[in-house]
Amino acid sequence: MYSLENIAKIVLTVALLLVAAIIHEVAHGYVAHLCGDDTAKEAGRLTLNPARHLDPFGSVVLPIIMAIAGGFVFSYAKPVPYNPYRLRNRRRDEVLVALAGPASNLLQAVVGSLCFNGAWALVEANNELYFSGPVVLGLTGMQWLLTALSTYVWVNLMLAFFNLIPLPPLDGSKVVCYFLKGDALTRYYEVQHYAMPILIAVLYLLPRLGLDPLGAYLDFFAGNLYDLLLGM
């Protein structure tokens, strides 16, 4: 049975994931715009308005299910459209557009960590002031703020490094495509048909068998960077 505090933390995580995912998608569209493709701009997707990006399943239902199940939590917004044929230098710019999403998440993580460390400095300067006062669902206002900021850093790092996995259609696959040509590229694109089964196996089946390569990868990169950013 989940307590009200746990439910509130799940809702908070899902909300922050949505913010991170929206900025991720807008970053794709904005870099495409800078590279000559105005498809996202013409579609009205270069906006932070959630209504333009919300995917009912990927933005809300999926992360709630994953949060309740425990472990890795993932969210996605509606992909921002772009036309690679309108890019000035398609081969180069496709990589730049793809990397814009994870880069935006890393930037959000850095900004979130600066805010967290600033708030924590205030707590250390006057612990009694900031950890006293009205308690909401078991935590004071400052504790909720620190929880929100640390969670924001974590979800952005998870999204950044998850999307860098070189599996179509994740952003990392575009980087791999840059180095492939001919038959090798064709075979690599064929992997996209099996992307979802592969992800399900890596996320849920392998850990039950005592193997968790995705968890090890995320712990090494996202986990260590999280500790570094928050001074842990």
Is 25 one of the catalytic residues?
Answer: yes
Give me 199's structure tokens: 């992800």
Element housing 140 (H / E): strand 139-140
Please say whether the beta carbons of 48 and 40 come within 8 A: no
Marked catalytic residue, from 25, 124, 128, 190: 25
Helices (H), the chain: 4-34, 39-42, 62-69, 90-125, 127-130, 141-163, 172-178, 182-190, 195-200, 206-208, 213-218, 224-229
Q: Strand pairing of 139-140 and 135-136?
A: antiparallel
Active site residues: 25
